[in-house]
Amino acid sequence: MLTITFTMLGDVALARAVSRYGDSVKDFRPVWEKIRENFHHIEDEQFNSEGARSGMPWLPLSPSYAAWKEKNYPGQTLLTLTGWMRDQFVSGVGMQTTIDPLKLKMEPNVPYAVIHQQGSPLTNLPPRKVVALTEDDKAGWMKIIHNYIYDKAKEAHLA
């Protein structure tokens, strides 16, 4: 049985088995492209809401860092200093993306993204989930996948 797994920044965000017809599908590239586009839309909302979109608002900055940031990068929101990380997640610019028949791989080119995602006790940095899919997000992606599998099964006269 085919299992779809989405891992980002060290967290498994989605792991679901699909119908038995999924094993006969050998090229999911159209699906991955839709999911990639939707992912960037989700991330735009995640950054604009400072994590609230997922139900886990990002914790505020420490007072000393907030003061430094406002002085040196006035008006920048949480998890946005230069915009490099945000741009990668929101638009894909700079993110290393590979779309293969059976795999979508998206890797941010930002070494500190995983530290924000998971937090760091060493630096007293709380986790601020850059990637936090809701159940509706997961269900939407699975619907895209299931519809594609069903369409391919119909084309092959399996369904």
pLDDT in tens, 19-67: 777 778 889 999 999 999 999 999 999 999 999 999 999 999 999 999 9
In angstroms and rounded to an integer, the radius of gyration of the C-alpha atoms of the chain is: 18
Q: Is the pLDDT of residue 18 over 70?
A: yes
Q: How far does Cα 87 stand from its chain's mean position? A: 13
pTM, whole model, 2 decimals? 0.91
Q: Is the pLDDT of residue 159 over 70?
A: no
User: Mean of the pLDDT values across residues 120-143?
Assistant: 94
CB 46 within 8 A of CB 53: yes
The string of pLDDT tens digits covering residues 108-122 is 999 899 999 999 999
* Percent of the chain whose pLDDT exceeds 70: 99
